[in-house]
Amino acid sequence: MKAVDRLCEHTYIPNLLHAGSTVFDFGANEGKFSHGMIARHGCRVFAAEPVSELRAGIKPSPALTLLPFAVGGTKERAKVNIFGSRCASLLRRNGDEALDGEQDTEVLDLRSIFELSGVDRVNLMKVDIEGSEIGMFDSASDEDLRRCTQITVEFHDFIYPEQRPQVEAIKKKLHSLGFWVINFSLDNTDVLFLNAATSGIGLLQYWRLKYLTKYAKGLARRFGRRGNSLASEGEGI
């Protein structure tokens, strides 16, 4: 069994998942992460995707419940911005950023998703909601966050630099709630939070993941890219 696995640029612990595990997929996009969880682990997935065109393209499955909502910090009606150059978001980089369109959507907070799904525990929560993760984490109760065994997050301070202090505050908050924090990226695009109480991950295993596994994976990816580059150069000779 792999110590860690990666899907759609999100790292997680596979041996914490099994047939019947519950997964929240926030920012489902085309459904690749949702269907990957179903295919790999037999999970039950609740996938939130506010963009109707993307949602319509997600293949149905008895194990998949599609939620036509955005996820954020408050329950409200809002407009999701459709961009040609990046993923749709409730946020805009600046007032002049070009749009391809807008869609009205309902926004739900984490508590509302728990109530809607009817589950008490989540084995894996994947969060890739284009900057709205700040509001989602800030508004989430300690109780609801502790319901999650592992949380894999793509933060978006690379798009919204003003969010960097909030990203660091969220890491500290989750650590104070009993989560191990492991950043598998050079920035904050692949951060894994492990609930020490429910994951069974102890201090020794955490250190192995944080240092040995993390850097081994990083080197493998780096040399993989280098190898692909050399192969491409060779093909051109």
Angle at 54 between CA 53 and CA 59, to 5 degrees: 115
pLDDT tens digits along 156-178: 999 999 999 999 999 999 999 99
- Phi, psi (degrees; rounded to nearest 5) at 160: -120, 85
The distance between the two most distant Cα atoms of the chain, rounded to a whole number of Å, is: 60
CA 35/CA 97 separation, integer angstroms: 32
pTM assigned to the model: 0.90
With H, G, I as helix, E, B as strand and everything else as coil, classify residue 218.
Answer: helix
Contact status, residue 125 vs residue 140, Cβ threshold 8 Å: no
The CATH code belonging to domain 5-201 is 3.40.50.150
pLDDT tens digits along 58-115: 999 999 999 999 999 999 999 999 998 899 999 998 767 889 999 999 999 999 999 9
CA 78/CA 162 separation, integer angstroms: 22
Domain limits of the chain? 5-201, 202-237
